[in-house]
Structure 1
């Protein structure tokens, strides 16, 4: 198998953009990490493009040199302009396809390599020279197409499962609105109580690591996926502690955990309910634990109230860079209390939907595992 330096077969070279009334302008916040999915397409007149941009076309692969650990690589499907934080690589079609190059750049081995080479503390960037000098093994073009078709097939399965999970979430959301309406706008329909009147909160803490032999699972911000319930915590990472953790820092079945602080504003206030099932489990300092003590509210109902868009807006912090949620803000949340019979009907609906989600999530995890094994097989 032939081996080349990336700079020799995929040099940094801008593309050609034909004249038009408006142009595609791509910024990094429009690109999803790991997949290159475009969240949003912005079209602007030429005078709005600015000077800190690069031109690209359908011969390019766009690689983000800023914070390379975010793994943002794009295969553009039409010409346009992008922030200069993206490097327009132009793969030589005689040696490498755009798709094969893209999967190579997304591979864990390459991401780890280039991340070690970054410079800059607050705004780490990959150096062009390091990118150009990395070596890449290139099978025949036919084999490259076969390999990328394997990846594409698995990604299509992953996306399908993700869409199924999203549809199930939307189903629960629609059922909630049908039964209870918006919890903020319709708060006069039922008696309301402050969230902290029905339970209490505790901020997470940052533990000191040690070799005392004490290991427990820890729920962190990265574990707040697209599901609402963590049923069992064996998959969560473990941490080694220097001393026995205080009892108040341990999670119990039915606890609701919020994201308290994060640079991504969309994550702040995201919440889920945890069932550790007696497995020692704590939560990070970037989270808040809420423990319900009242029997007036069902946990499934309360969780959906807290996930409502109108409630989420009330929870978003005001930090300049790092967004924060605090107990003072949570105390302002008024929770409508409908009859328990209605709450239990909704809880049963959620329970049945969650069973479907578990099956879909298992299939998604299997597809992701297969994708990861292929990455290891072809890119080491």
Structure 2
């Protein structure tokens, strides 16, 4: 093991923060704790470096790294430590060793945790021969490239569905094909969910899985972490999720407000929290595949953005606004054709997603083996 201060030059003294108002737009990346913040007209570094968050980093996260690699001309503000590896350590190896480093006990601060330079210099990483470092980097780089490729494949499949939607239904914002329009409440049963921390007098409670805002992404359900909650039998009956229910969030980033996804195979007795709306469609009128994709296009997005309440960068919609969502209703036969297309694409996506998850697990296992 070697201390970070022994294997790196710390170039923090060369950092220069620039306020947003004083930045001159240009071609050079302006880096902060977690990546590119802006592009500016000048640079202060031109080297192979590793940037490690000083404050405002993803400390404690198992998914988001606290260090990243930069190369060439750039500017760095005072929220990231600037590390230049000495001859004994490979720059990529250094980056991998720090990406998910456990800094608990090193960072301090109640509201905004900070990794001071003195504490950062004490961090220890495994010091191997250069040949071993290069081999480790080679294996991890290959996995990283494959993971990136799988993500690109998934993105292209999403674009394929979007292109097919436009081809079949036209520009839904302009309603170029003049489809009939109805408000969502006339074609769906819409309910809010269970409130966390509510008080109940009943003693007969059952622990069940529940869908939170973090589980509902724009077009898909994220199963990474599913929490549980104690609920009464009546609550379970009231909020139980069924296959093909659409889950929609009431709030979030302004550009994502009203995002939604189909929950195709709910967990047994799973329910949803009150910051999520459950939309159960009348499938004699509108199909889940069509509606879920409709939510991703500009007619729905602009509607939600236009009526959402916004405070400090967070937008939210209420039940009344969701029920009033203007929704185009093409012929059911055409919707069925689209749903069949989506199902075929979903089968391809499932294969790619399974490969992606395996690659992620392999990389995680290697990172654990090499860096603990």
TM interval, short-chain normalised: 0.7 to 0.9
Contact kept? 1:24, 1:44, Cα under 8 Å: yes
TM superposition score normalised by structure 1: 0.82
Matched, 1:4 2:2: yes
Distance verdict in 2 for CA 1:58–1:243, change over 3 Å: farther
Select between 217-226 and 283-292 the one with higher mean Cα deviation. Answer: 217-226
Matched, 1:80 2:74: yes
Contact kept? 1:165, 1:361, Cα under 8 Å: yes
> Aligned runs of 1:113-128 on 2, under 5 Å?
113-114=103-104, 117-121=107-111, 123-128=112-117
Distance verdict in 2 for CA 1:29–1:377, change over 3 Å: closer
Equivalent-residue separation in structure 1 for 2:159 and 2:331 (angstroms): 24
> What SS class does the counterpart of residue 125 from structure 2 fall into?
strand
| CA deviation after TM superposition for structure 1 residue 192, in Å | 0.4
| CA deviation after TM superposition for structure 1 residue 91, in Å | 1.8
Please, which of 342, 345, 357 is the counterpart of residue 365 of structure 1? 357
Equivalent-residue separation in structure 2 for 1:358 and 1:295 (angstroms): 28
Please, which of 92, 97, 118 is the counterpart of residue 99 of structure 1? 92
Equivalent-residue separation in structure 1 for 2:370 and 2:205 (angstroms): 38
Select between 279-288 and 139-148 the one with higher mean Cα deviation. Answer: 279-288
Equivalent-residue separation in structure 2 for 1:360 and 1:162 (angstroms): 8
Structure 2 match to 1:195: 184
Equivalent-residue separation in structure 2 for 1:28 and 1:268 (angstroms): 27
Distance verdict in 2 for CA 1:309–1:77, change over 3 Å: farther
Structure 1 match to 2:211: 219
| CA deviation after TM superposition for structure 1 residue 146, in Å | 0.8
**Superposition RMSD in Å:** 3.1
Task: Name stretches of at least 5 consecutive residues in structure 1 with no aligned partner.
Answer: 32-37, 50-54
Equivalent-residue separation in structure 1 for 2:231 and 2:167 (angstroms): 50
| CA deviation after TM superposition for structure 1 residue 187, in Å | 6.8
Equivalent-residue separation in structure 2 for 1:75 and 1:350 (angstroms): 38
Select between 171-180 and 136-145 the one with higher mean Cα deviation. Answer: 136-145
